[in-house]
């Protein structure tokens, strides 16, 4: 099983693809996607905590097409380009069609870098 990055993007439905991003090796993609998620997440359901493969992440949903076009025009890594190309093959641009959901998950260590107070007791 491929290990999770500190941030991952998952597109649901027929596209069914996940891309993992680490903040050290993919700093441009990590920074761009995280900034986008913080400003453009869907207010319903908002941010929530999820456990994936035993790791805790904060996840949010975003609008599919604006996010995919943001990836295509602003993030120039090969991994993101492949994700965009695969996702767009499964999206119908006809009016009224339902787009697959896009979820962004960020490892809790990014938002909560310090240990919890109860863990600091000696």
User: 93-102, long-range: CB within 8 Å, 24+ apart, which pairs?
Assistant: 99/64, 99/65, 100/11, 100/12, 100/13, 100/14, 100/15, 100/64, 101/11, 101/12, 101/13, 101/61, 101/64, 102/9, 102/10, 102/11, 102/12, 102/61, 102/62, 102/63, 102/64, 102/67, 102/68
93 versus 4: the higher-pLDDT residue is 93
117 versus 66: the higher-pLDDT residue is 66
How large is the average pLDDT for residues 19-38?
87
Q: pLDDT tens for residues 39-84?
A: 998 988 899 999 988 889 999 999 999 999 999 998 888 888 999 9
Q: pLDDT tens for residues 72-89?
A: 998 888 888 999 999 998
Give the residue extent of every domain in the chain: 7-112
How large is the average pLDDT for residues 86-98?
83
């Amino acid at each position: 099983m491929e290990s999770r990055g500190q941030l991952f993007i998952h597109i649901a439905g027929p596209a069914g693809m996940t891309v993992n991003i680490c903040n050290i090796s993919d700093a441009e993609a990590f920074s761009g996607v995280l900034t986008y998620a913080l400003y453009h997440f869907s207010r319903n359901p908002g941010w929530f905590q999820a456990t994936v493969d035993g790791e805790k992440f904060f996840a949010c949903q975003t609008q599919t097409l604006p996010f995919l076009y943001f990836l295509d025009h602003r993030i120039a890594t090969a991994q993101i380009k492949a994700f965009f190309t695969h996702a767009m093959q499964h999206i119908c641009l006809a009016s009224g069609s339902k787009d697959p959901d896009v979820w962004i998950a960020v490892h809790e260590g990014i938002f909560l870098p310090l240990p919890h107070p109860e863990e600091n007791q000696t």
